[in-house]
Amino acid sequence: MDKMGEGYGYGSIDGEDVLSKLRGQRFRHLEGQVYLDHAGATVYGSHQVEEHAKLLMQNVFGNPHSSSSPSSQRTTDSIDSVRRDLAAFFNTTLEEYDVVFTSGTTAGLKLIGESFPFSRQSSFAYSMDSHNSVLGIRSYAAAHDARIFALPVDYKPDFMVMSFYKLFGYPSGLGALLIRRSSAPYLAKPYHGGGTLAASFPTLLDASRPHAATHRRFEDGTLPYLSILACTSGLQSLRNLTMPAIQRHVAALTKYAWHALTALRHANGARVCTIYGTHHRDPDAGSIIACNFSTPDGAWVGYSEFSTLAALHNIHVRTGCFCNPGACQAHLGLTTDEMLAHMAQGHVCGDAMDIIHNRPTGAIRVSFGYMSTQQDVDAFIMFVATYFVSSRTHLAASRLQVGHDVPASIRLTKIAVFPIKSCGAMHVDRWRVGARGLLFDREWALVDPATGAAFSQKHMPLMATLRPVVDLDAQQLH
């Protein structure tokens, strides 16, 4: 592989490469893994867990609502310190923005949606490539007959949401909502839980009084204060490397991966990888590459097939539409009617219906983090080259002369159909072939009614003893 471009890594200290030291000391749990799903969740460092545990073992932290307790005051002071650190991380202050802790980005957006005073005079505008959690606010706006339309614009925010595991991996289940103080009066929260009220009366509804501090009004119940304390180490890790250096590092990795993927060609000269986006024109395109792969004759490789094979090689990627139907629709060239037709055929988020009518229903996403390395990219490119790049020229099916004379040396001895995933096979002498292979092969799955997830032999080995049978004439499964 070629050498990395300018911006890769974090230099050296006393002759020792900082990135190599970082991986060796804090991310040893990544050994043998190629983790390329940092947009889904980045990886926590061992130092974050160790420092958090040390903090808890050396101090006593109490419920912040028990204000007279010294352990409670310690908790409150520590949480306020994290609020200040987070505001500084986003280049603002607590004088301009208040920091409200939530369970994550989605909870923050929901809080805005249910608290904003939508009316018939309101307009809710959103980008076409908005995340589903943003699209969810439409229901609040529509309930008040507000106008709703999509608009590709960018403003300095009155509200900003984030999840900590996206920034530094640990803790999960915790996020923050930053509210511009000048915009806070517009939010009318409909529910007030414990800790949000300065005064409350069980017999007088209108006499209840919310706390004056914005974050106190919006943080229902007891905060996950022990988890909040874990954010200090994660934020410090990013500050030590500096965000400009991290940006340069992931940009160099993205550019390197883009050039490597776009250079791949099959033996007949056909392109292997189609990348969605403007990475080749935008030096600040970010750390994400969304793509699909194709065969020498131009047929698409299903993202489900790709991710299954990648998982066998400890390569971690994300596939599908990434909770972003607008971007998926735009880049895949799908109309709304086509997406509705996909849904009518049974396609839902997270399933394996990756190709419908010879077109992909989603994509493969590769994303980098501050601890990602050139070796991660090289391993991914080598995987793609090994399994998805043809080294021999193949004729398109339409150009093949199909004959029925089978050489004596080639003999089909057995046909096995697996109607239910993870169950035993049905052996047949002859069988129909459909658009996706053997008809009804792996067509069904046994589903856990409690979770909605399909059972597998990994959790239920006895499934292999079940022998389902498909009766084509009666159109029944036995």
SS (HEC) of the chain? CCCCCCCCCCCEECCEEHHHHHHHHHCHHHCCCEECECCCCCCCCHHHHHHHHHHHHHCCCCCCCCCCCHHHHHHHHHHHHHHHHHHHHCCCCCCCEEEEEECCHHHHHHHHHHHCCCCCCCEEEECCCCCHHHHCHHHHHHHCCCEEEECCCCCCCCEEEEEHHHHHCCCCCCEEEEEECCCHHHCCCCCCCCCCEEEEECCEEEEEEECCCHHHHHCCCCCCHHHHHCHHHHHHHHHHHCHHHHHHHHHHHHHHHHHHHHHCECCCCCECEEEECCCCCCCCCCCEEEEEEECCCCCECCHHHHHHHHHHCCEECEEECCCCHHHHHHHHCCCHHHHHHHHHCCCCCCCCCCEECCEECCEEEEECCCCCCHHHHHHHHHHHHHHHCCCCCCCCHHHCCCCCCCCCCCCCCCEEECCECCCCCEEECCCCEECCEECCCCCECCECCCCCCECCCCCCHHHHHCCCCEECCCCEEC
Annotated catalytic residue within 323, 328, 349, 423: 323
Burial 377-388 (b: 16+ CB within 10 A, else e): bbbbbebbeeeb
* 323 noted as active-site residue: yes
Residues with active-site annotation = 323
